[in-house]
Amino acid sequence: MRVLTLPDRYIRVFLRSIRLRITLLITVLLVLFIVPAYVRVEALTRQTQDDSAWRDAERQATLTAAAVRAGPARVLIRPDIPGVDFIQVVGPDHRVIMSTPAAGRLAPLSDMWPSLLTPERDLQASAPQGRLYLSAVRLTSSPDSAVVYAARRAPDAASARRLWLLVLEAVVFITLAACIIWRIADRLLSPVGCIRATLCSINSNNLSSRVPVPPGNDEIVRLARTINGTLDRLEKADECSNLALTQLRRFTSDASHELRTPLAGLRVLLEEAQLHPCDTELPQLLDEALSDIDRLQTIICDLLLLSGLEAGIPANRDLTDLSQLVKEEVGQRKDPVPVLLRLETGTTVRVCRIQMARVLTNLLDNAQRHAKHVVQVEVHRRDATAELTVSDDGAGIPMGDRERVFERFTRLDAARCRDRGGSGLGLAIARDIAHAHRGTLTAGCSPLGGARFVLCIPLPESVSVGDCRLTAGVGDQAREDLDGRPGHRLDTSPS
């Protein structure tokens, strides 16, 4: 494993900032682009100046040669072009015949002699005054013709100053560009800082906060939306987890609360039989023990069913004729109080048949425990819902307790406390099944004087209304099946 040295560590820490990395990257790219551009500009400028110097020297040499040919001989020559200060007319013996004041005390500027084939020559020469751009022109075409030299200084100092100015300009430009890039990167990445600060403030106890979403539709905006979507899913998962934990605690509390009494009774019964075996009647002991065990089994099954409903465990649902289901379930019961049926044919719903039969059983058990003379079951259509009603002529439920009866292990006062063998979970199970089918279960006042429970289940859209006739009974075959069993009778009155 490679061990980082101290400078490497500092560099790693220094380069952790995306803003710094962006600034450095773009600055390096600018340097790689600007430096060659400035070098190219400097080269072009120098080339232009060199060309201009050569042209000035050539022109001055040509003008001087023409003036010498046309006029009398002069010792001093005046330059015609500014900047071309060094002009000499040199004879065949390489002696200066005429010159400008600046070149009067100088030796011939060059020992190069133009030939007859090339009467004009350009070259660079060195003099005490510096580097010179020199142009040589023959006066005549004769072999012993004199030569005119015209030269100007090379702009070395000016070039150096210009180079330093270009370097300074490039440094200033790159520094200014780096500062602007830093500010732009800081502005672009500022939403990321806000997102990070918000995420740091979110914990498992508070998942309702959301990161700010800046305007626009760039990558940071999409990142913020994705984070908010993830937080939404986490919040829902946390709610589901809390709900599952609450359901588990509720199940444990309900089980420990309701199982304690029958278990204690069963234990007392067995301990008494153990202490007094001679005074114990075995058949009676077994009957009482089995009764307590049945109650325990009922409570456990009801608690497990409630837990499954709250957990949303799916159940198979089929199209079921609700009126036919009521006929079959009532026909299998042996109730002490007569059951009056008022059923509308063709009331088809998509339900889990077993769960819907459990709802009807629980409602009938509750009505049988509290009815005095009659229990009435009705099935009707109400717009887009099927309505199942179970009524009794008992004491009824007070207005303030009509929601409380659906709570687990609820016991009411007066006449409705005569609970004979119920687990205290029947109505809670019935309402949870109704909610699982996107329906409702409510308690109210019955026309018979007692309680009235109304179950509403949505009708499936694919089922046509058909012939919705309210029958005065449940059919001949069902009449034969039910008439032969005590405790049930059919309503033959018109609706």
pLDDT tens for residues 281-298?
A: 888 888 878 877 877 777
Hey, how many other C-beta atoms are within 10 angstroms of the C-beta on 96?
A: 18
Q: H-helix or E-strand containing 427?
A: helix 426-436
Query: Does the pLDDT of residue 314 top 80, yes or no?
Result: no
> For the range 402-405, what are the long-range contacts, defined as Cβ-Cβ under 8 Å and sequence gap of 24 or more?
402/442, 402/443, 402/444, 403/443, 405/443
Q: For position 403, what pLDDT does the model report? A: 86
Amino acid at site 101: P
Q: CA 334 → CA 243, 299, 358, 361, 364, distances in Å?
A: 40, 22, 16, 12, 11
For residue 493 the two structure tokens come to 């009155």
Hey, how many other C-beta atoms are within 10 angstroms of the C-beta on 439?
A: 21
Query: Does the pLDDT of residue 444 top 50, yes or no?
Result: yes
Q: Is there a contact between 138 and 145 (Cβ–Cβ < 8 Å)?
A: yes
Q: Is there a contact between 152 and 84 (Cβ–Cβ < 8 Å)?
A: yes
* Closest of 370, 363, 334, 359 to residue 448, by C-alpha: 370
Give rounded-to-5 percent helix, strand, coil for the chain: 50, 15, 30
Mean pLDDT for the stretch of residues 67-92: 77
* Closest of 361, 379, 357, 371 to residue 473, by C-alpha: 379
- Count of alpha carbons within 13 Å of 262, Cβ hemisphere only? 20
- Count of alpha carbons within 13 Å of 289, Cβ hemisphere only? 14
Query: Does the pLDDT of residue 299 top 80, yes or no?
Result: no
The CA-CA-CA angle for residues 113, 117, 122, to 5°, reads: 50
Q: Give the single-character DSSP code of 470.
A: B
Distance CA 434, CA 363 (A): 12
Cβ neighbours for 482, distance < 8 A, ≥ 6 positions apart: 327, 330, 331, 474, 488, 489, 490
Q: Give the single-character DSSP code of 343.
A: E
Taking only the tens place, the pLDDT of each residue in 360-385 is: 988 998 899 889 999 999 999 988 89
Percent of the chain, pLDDT > 70?
77
For residue 66 the two structure tokens come to 């023409």
Averaging pLDDT over each range in 24-38, 194-208, 360-374, 468-482, which range is the top one?
A: 360-374
Taking only the tens place, the pLDDT of each residue in 107-127 is: 887 777 888 777 777 776 666
For residue 447 the two structure tokens come to 């026309």
Distance CA 355, CA 267 (A): 34
Return the higher-pLDDT residue of 411 and 332: 332
Taking only the tens place, the pLDDT of each residue in 22-52 is: 888 888 888 888 778 877 877 787 778 777 8
Distance CA 103, CA 129 (A): 10
| CA-based end-to-end distance of the chain | 91
* Closest of 301, 357, 367, 366 to residue 331, by C-alpha: 357
Quick one: pLDDT band at residue 227, thresholds 50, 70, 90? confident
Q: List the beta bridge partners of residue 153.
A: 132
Query: Does the pLDDT of residue 341 top 50, yes or no?
Result: yes
Return the higher-pLDDT residue of 91 and 128: 91
Query: Could you tell me where the DSSP H helices lie in 371-488?
Result: 426-436, 476-483
Distance CA 297, CA 303 (A): 10
DSSP string, 204-240: TTB--------SS-SHHHHHHHHHHHHHHHHHHHHHH
Q: Is there a contact between 296 and 440 (Cβ–Cβ < 8 Å)?
A: no
Q: For position 478, what pLDDT does the model report? A: 35
Q: For position 5, what pLDDT does the model report? A: 56
Distance CA 189, CA 185 (A): 6
